[in-house]
Amino acid sequence: MAKTIEEINEKIKSAKAVVVTAEEMVDIVKKEGPGKASVKVDVVTTGTFSPMCSSGAFLNIKLPNPKMKMQKVFLNDIEVFAGLAAVDLYVGATSMRRDDPLNRMHPGKFLYGGGHLLEDLVAGREIELRASAYGTDCYPAKEMKKTITLDDINEAIMCNPRNACQNYNCAVNTSDKAIYTYMGKLNADLGNANYCSAGQLSPLLNDPEYRTIGVGTRIFLGGATGYVTFNGTQHAPGKKRNKLGIPTAPAGTIMVTGDLKEMSDKWIKGVSFTGYGASLMVGIGIPIPVIDEKIAATCGASDEDITCPIVDYSSDYPNSTGKTLGEVTYKELRSGKIKINGKEVITGSLSSYYRAAEIAGILKNRIEKEEFKLGIPQKLLPRK
């Protein structure tokens, strides 16, 4: 019997909703089947905590007196985008300080970037602001230098154009020298295999055909409550899918928004990838309303049922050949070793499963305490 999100919200209000994490749902569906599970369970909570480069925040700085139309702005020596109204800025997670040596001494360390700046803001640490302008009749000030914290900023709105990617590659290197990528250092001759997905806990893998997630879906974002505001950039729903409709390669993505002032530096963490650059780890959790048997079946899918492609980042990835070295399940990846071309290869994860499970648990708790109601999507993510 199908349920609507409104009906599930009524159950949450009267404390009758049954909420489980995606991990718990695997066992329930295994034991009772998707039909019974869809009657018993109302909401499945998911989670992911992973580097997500397409992240950033809009900041509105308090206007100085006399007023200033900021043209070039540096925060902790990172140039931020100021091509908006007088004091509106955008900080992107991968921007670097102007004096960073980048990859001139290869491999560069990229120790402080936009992601670290966002973490510092969220943690309430002091930030040095330097701004310059050409001056106008209505905005005469031309120079400004000030130490600020998040409290001195009017609005700080996280707006990430591409997060929570549905599935991802397992990255390897078949060349004879180590390479440095956004998937970490990949050692020569299949020295290691790095992967990056929460697998069975990952939000979009639990609702693989976007039957409940869309514009207006309320989510856990960086510790606060946020929203899915659109499909993400490079949203690619047309990828090959398995029997359950789960894509076997990177597919859907979401754009998300939330108030940076409500977030926690536990869930917003600046990261550095040697030889590649800086980024931001973002904690996201999405509650999946169990509207019918079909969604119960996908929420019940385990790491055994989800596969990803093994991609050679020394040649096939940079040259977009589309070739893969095979497919592997997340269960195999999490065992610590996989076999590629007959060779045993050690695996490393970039996405924190431990923290993803924590997010799913927090979200479950918030829903049970009626602190969190399900958002009703106004437009589902595109399926084509």
Q: Is 253 helix (H, G, I), strand (E, B) or coil?
A: coil
Q: Measured between alpha carbons, how far is 143 from 66 in angstroms, rounded to an integer? A: 11
In the complex, minimum distance from the CB of residue 46 to other proteins, in angstroms, rounded to a whole number? 15
Side chain identity at 214, as an amino acid letter? G
In the complex, minimum distance from the CB of residue 272 to other proteins, in angstroms, rounded to a whole number? 6
299 is catalytic: no
Q: Give the total residue count for the chain.
A: 384
Q: What are phi and psi of 344, to 5 degrees?
A: -80, 125
Rule CB under 8 A: which residues touch other proteins?
A: 49-51, 111, 184-185, 192-194, 269-274, 279, 281, 334, 336, 346-355, 357
In this structure, the number of other CB atoms found within 10 A of the CB of residue 53 comes to: 22
Structure tokens at 327: 């497919």
Nearer to other proteins, 282 or 367 (CB): 282
Structure tokens at 125: 């640490």
Pairing of the two strands 343-349 and 193-195: parallel
In the complex, minimum distance from the CB of residue 330 to other proteins, in angstroms, rounded to a whole number? 11
Element (H, E) at 23: helix 22-40
In the complex, minimum distance from the CB of residue 368 to other proteins, in angstroms, rounded to a whole number? 21
Nearer to other proteins, 237 or 277 (CB): 277
CB 37 within 8 A of CB 291: no
Nearer to other proteins, 2 or 346 (CB): 346
Instruction: For residue 138, give every residue at least 6 positions away whose Cβ sits within 8 Å of its Cβ, in sequence order, or none.
Output: 67, 69
Cis peptide before 161, with omega less than 30 degrees from 0? no
Nearer to other proteins, 115 or 226 (CB): 115
CA distances to 182, 350, 370 from 305, rounded to whole Å, are 26, 20, 32
Nearer to other proteins, 246 or 281 (CB): 281
In the complex, minimum distance from the CB of residue 112 to other proteins, in angstroms, rounded to a whole number? 10
User: Known catalytic residues?
Assistant: 138
